[in-house]
Chain A
């Protein structure tokens, strides 16, 4: 087919100012379209380069993953420390007031120390937010540049199965304050 097309182009003639081949194809228009396709491909190559996908998945996303893992660990560790201290205070059978007071002060100090996790986790979460903002910025620029449309056929089957389970079992997770129903509203539903 390519050979036939090339043959038509070679045998083309100029008619009324346009380069028309005997088969009636406007070769100028074809050339313009090919040029547009070439520009589009060049643009996509440039945008793919700007996406820096390797950097995203080798550096930025692992950082976000690790930081969030650290946040979970730090939160859990602090919670356990705080709860253990509180449980020891509640479970104390100490009869002497001064000894009890010293014991409680010591445990309360442990609780204060454990609460310092919030500063660190706040900083870690800010790092994750920065990394994700970069990912979002690049993906959104790329999607706009190549006029990308999502295709249902390209949905990851594992992700689709997870989503189907979430939909069927109403696994919506925590909501933002404007979407969450309040305890008072729930109580009203239960009369």
Chain B
């Protein structure tokens, strides 16, 4: 499945090790333009400055969670179509259902592997 490897991706996670892991995986997949933010508030600021082709966000962050970020993105006219993948340790069914209702495009539970990440990005962004 064809992927636009030049599309900017925003990785949102408060745990720098996880940001580094996702950045490296994305680099291995060939993506070059990857930014990061440490919570939903910082991510929203970046989303308003630059047009991203994909947001990959953790759920549990302070002060703004990934779930709140998702709802903000989906309620913002300029951002609402931005593809959004939740990558999180929140593994209760109620979380998945809530994220789906809020408009998430896909959901990955941690720990995950490069193949899963690639498959979800392809499912969400592939043409």
Q: Which of A13-21, A32-40, A93-101, A178-186 contacts B (4 or more CB under 8 A)?
A: A178-186
**Beta-carbon contact of A175 and B91 below 8 Å:** yes
In this complex, the interface size class of chain A, counting residues with CB under 8 Å from chain B, is 20 to 34
Judge whether A183 and B17 touch: CB under 8 Å.
Answer: no
Please report the C-alpha to C-alpha distance between residue A182 and residue B107 in the assembled complex, in whole angstroms: 11
Cα of A170 to Cα of B90 in the assembled complex, Å? 8
Residues A80 and B96 in contact, CB atoms below 8 Å apart? no
- Note all chain B residues with C-beta closer than 8 A to A180: 91-92, 109
- For B17, the chain A residues whose CB sits under 8 A away are 76, 79-80, 83
Interface locus among B46-54, B60-68, B76-84: B60-68
Task: Determine whether the beta carbon of B94 is less than 8 Å from that of A170.
Answer: yes
- Residues on A with C-beta less than 8 A from B59 are 170-171
Question: Is B29 an interface position by the 8 A CB rule?
Answer: no
A residues touching B (Cβ–Cβ < 8 Å)?
Answer: 76, 79-80, 83, 86-87, 90, 169-175, 179-183, 185-186, 189-190
Interface residues of B (CB under 8 A from A): 17, 20-21, 24, 28, 59-60, 65, 67-68, 89-98, 100, 106-110, 112, 116, 123
